[in-house]
Amino acid sequence: MRTTVSTRGQIVLPVEIRRQDRIEAGQEFEVERLDRGEYRLTRRLAPPKEGVLDWLLACPAKGFFVPVESASTDEL
């Protein structure tokens, strides 16, 4: 597959690759220069719990997840 570097220095991954690997907008990658003209692109995996709060807040049953007030440990 072929892609082109934009005038802003961006490289677009072909849709077939994005679908196969479930790559979504906002995911981060590491770029490593191996040699002149050779590079390695590696997807950075999110920490296991990253996004859990957003997932809970997006629950279809509204009011299912409600933040609760808690005391500071300084007050205990």
pLDDT score at 76: 60
User: For position 18, what pLDDT does the model report?
Assistant: 92
Token reading at 20 = 């196969």
Could you tell me what percent of the chain has a pLDDT over 90? 43
In the numeric block, the tokens 């991954």 are attached to: 13
pLDDT reported for residue 49 = 75
45 or 37: whose pLDDT is higher? 37
pTM: 0.52
Contact present, 59 and 67 (Cβ < 8 Å): no
Q: What mean pLDDT is reported for the chain? A: 83
